Amino acid sequence: MHFIPEKLDDYVVAHSENEPELLQQLTRETYQKILQPRMLSGHYQGRVLSMISKLVNPKNILEIGTYTGYSALCLAEGMQDSGEFHTMDVNEELFDFQRKYFDKSEYGHQIFQHLGNALDIIPELDKTFDLIFIDADKENYPNYFNLIIDKLNVGGIILSDNVLWSGKVLEPLKPDDASTKALLEYNSLLKEDSRIETVLLPIRDGLTISRKL
């Protein structure tokens, strides 16, 4: 969904950084071989994630929802050389695809994949993080926030994707729409929680930046 007119959107992309060659390859192979390729962050949002990560220059990064590894490789661009990138996904069929691209990048040795339900994996991680990207099942966004907030260092950043959910956050809520319900709750939670400060950016499907105080 385009929240701004398509021509303006094209102009925005044309005047932003080019997509690195490895990510172009990853995108092509995702579209050829993997179901639901539209899930990957893509060129423009990827460059936004890369830029934010370079500004934060995090040591450790946590990602919830790896898919084929596109956003992981973008966020890794800003990670410190001594840092670790922990990313998780419940879909085991994606594991080898992710590893192939991680190992083609310069960050492969710093990226640790976790296979399984993020709700089970996060409590087991004995680490703290400077940057956390939430991009998995929308129903669990409030649960993910509650699980990660104590693992986020002061000054650290949470990036939350799809918070506008194609504009459904403005429509009357359908009783069986658990994703929109959870996102409405989540967006309010981020705004109200006194441990963080938050801005919601109308980038792509909505990307919120929250900073721990």
Ligand X SMILES: C[S@@+](CC[C@H](N)C(=O)[O-])C[C@H]1O[C@@H](n2cnc3c(N)ncnc32)[C@H](O)[C@@H]1O
DSSP 65: -
Q: How many other C-beta atoms are found inside a 10 Å radius of the C-beta of residue 16?
A: 14
Please tell me whether residue 115 binds ligand X under the rule CB under 6 A: no
Closer residue to ligand X, CB minimum distance, 127 or 195: 127
Q: How far is the CB of 213 from ligand X (least distance, A)?
A: 26
In what side-by-side order are the strands of the sheet with 196-201? 111-115, 85-89, 61-64, 129-134, 152-161, 207-212, 196-201
Please tell me whether residue 85 binds ligand X under the rule CB under 6 A: no
> Which 130-149 positions form the footprint of ligand X (CB under 6 A)?
135-137, 140
Angle at 212 between CA 164 and CA 43, to 5 degrees: 45
Binding-site member from 27, 47, 50, 67 for ligand X (CB under 6 A): 67
Binding-site member from 19, 89, 101, 196 for ligand X (CB under 6 A): 89
> Which 27-46 positions form the footprint of ligand X (CB under 6 A)?
39-41
Please tell me whether residue 19 binds ligand X under the rule CB under 6 A: no
Closer residue to ligand X, CB minimum distance, 2 or 195: 2
Q: Under DSSP, is residue 80 helix (H, G, I), strand (E, B) or coil?
A: coil
Q: How far is the CB of 41 from ligand X (least distance, A)?
A: 3
Are 114 and 127 spatial neighbours (Cβ–Cβ below 8 Å)?
no
**Cα gap 15→144, rounded to integer Å:** 34
Binding-site member from 118, 132, 134, 152 for ligand X (CB under 6 A): 118
- According to DSSP, the β-strands at 111-115 and 85-89 are parallel
Closer residue to ligand X, CB minimum distance, 5 or 92: 92
Q: Under DSSP, is residue 72 helix (H, G, I), strand (E, B) or coil?
A: helix
Tokens of 116: 């399984």
Name the residue among 64, 71, 160, 135 with its Cα closest to residue 107.
Answer: 71
Q: Give the interface segment with ligand X, choosing from 12-20, 113-121, 150-158, 179-187 (CB under 6 A).
A: 113-121
Q: How far is the CB of 116 from ligand X (least distance, A)?
A: 7
Closer residue to ligand X, CB minimum distance, 60 or 113: 113
Q: How many other C-beta atoms are found inside a 10 Å radius of the C-beta of residue 74?
A: 25
Q: How far is the CB of 36 from ligand X (least distance, A)?
A: 8
Kindly list the residues in this chain that would bind ligand X in the complex (CB under 6 A). Answer: 39-41, 65, 67, 70-71, 88-91, 117-119, 135-137, 140
